[in-house]
Amino acid sequence: SLLLIQNATAFSTVPMRAAPLMRRTTTTTTTTNLFSSAVSSMAKDEEDEKQVVRLMDPRTNREIILVGCMHYNPASIQLAEKTAVDAAKSLSQSPPSPPPSFLEKLMNQKKDNESVYSGGLAAVLVESCRTRWDAANEFRSETLKEAWQRDIYDKILPNEMRAAAKVANSNGIPVVLGDQEIEITGKRVKATLKQTLQDLLTPWNGGWDRI
C-alpha cells in the first residue's frame, strides 16, 4: 500500500456529533447516553471515511490510500495518524514482496530512512518538498534547542504530515516527499502575476480576453 497525506480543503474535517437526548429516568438516561455515544462514534467514522479514498493501482494491483487533510486541523491530524497506524499494521500481515515498480522512483527520494520494503505498507507520501521539509526539521532541531521548546512548538503547531511521518519512521517505513519543489512553484507564481498585470494593462492587445 501507499499512504498519501494531502491537503484537501474540499473535504469536511469536523467530525459529526450526535446531540444527546434528554430523559428523566436514570435507566433511560444511561441507555440514551450509550445510544448517543454509539451514534456519535458511527457518525465520526462515517465522516472520517469521506476523507479517506482507497483505490487500486491498475499496473501493480496495489492499494493506494489518499487522506484528505486541512493543515493544522486537529481532526485531520488525528485521522492521518490513525490511518498511518492502521496501514502500518499490515506489514506484519502481508507476505514479503518486491516494491511496486511505480514506487521505485519515489523510494529513491528517501535520504533519512534506508529501511528495505518488505510488503504491506510501502511508503508514506506527504505533501511537502525537500526544501520545506528540511527547513522545518532544521528550525525544530537548530532553533528550538531545548526539549521543552520543541514540546511547546509541537503542541501549538501540530502537523498532520509530521504525525504520519512519525508513525512511518517508528515502523521503518520510508517517508516520501511528493510535492513540487517550492522554488519551481515560486517562479511560476511570479511569472503568472507578471503576465496577469500585463494583461490588465493591455486590454487592446487581447489582455482582458486572456484573463
Q: What is the reported pLDDT for 112?
A: 44
CB atoms within 10 A of CB 115: 12
Cross-strand bridge partners of residue 63 = 56
Of the two residues 16 and 159, the one the predictor is more confident about is 159
Nearest to 64 by CA among 128, 122, 126: 122
The answer, yes or no, to whether residue 151 has pLDDT greater than 60, is: yes
Predicted TM-score (pTM) of this structure: 0.62
Q: What is the reported pLDDT for 118?
A: 44
Of the two residues 124 and 6, the one the predictor is more confident about is 124
- C-alpha cell of 146? 531545548
CB atoms within 10 A of CB 163: 23
Q: Are 39 and 32 in contact (CB under 8 A)?
A: no
- C-alpha cell of 119? 510488503
Quickly list DSSP for 150-161.
HHHHHHHS--HH
Query: What average pLDDT score do residues 53-57 get?
Result: 88
Q: Encode pLDDT of 70-128 as tens digits.
A: 888 999 999 999 999 998 886 555 444 545 454 555 555 444 444 444 456 888 999 99
- C-alpha cell of 128? 511537502
Q: Are 35 and 43 in contact (CB under 8 A)?
A: no
pLDDT band at residue 189 under the 50/70/90 scheme: very high
DSSP 3-state of 181:
coil
Q: What is the reported pLDDT for 35?
A: 42
CA end-to-end span of the chain: 42
Phi, then psi, of 153 in degrees rounded to 5: -60, -45
Percent of the chain with pLDDT over 70: 63
pLDDT band at residue 32 under the 50/70/90 scheme: very low
Q: Encode pLDDT of 193-209 as tens digits.
A: 999 999 999 999 888 88
Q: What is the reported pLDDT for 154?
A: 85
Instruction: Give dist(CA 77, CA 13) in Å, integer.
Output: 10
pLDDT band at residue 18 under the 50/70/90 scheme: very low
Instruction: Give dist(CA 56, CA 58) in Å, integer.
Output: 6
Q: Are 80 and 160 in contact (CB under 8 A)?
A: yes
Average pLDDT, the chain: 74
The answer, yes or no, to whether residue 184 has pLDDT greater than 70, is: yes
Which residues, including other chains, have CB under 8 Å from residue 129's CB and lie 6 or more apart? 177, 179, 180, 181, 182
Of the two residues 12 and 127, the one the predictor is more confident about is 127
How far is CA 103 from its chain centroid? 18
Q: Are 6 and 65 in contact (CB under 8 A)?
A: no
Query: What average pLDDT score do residues 17-24 get?
Result: 36
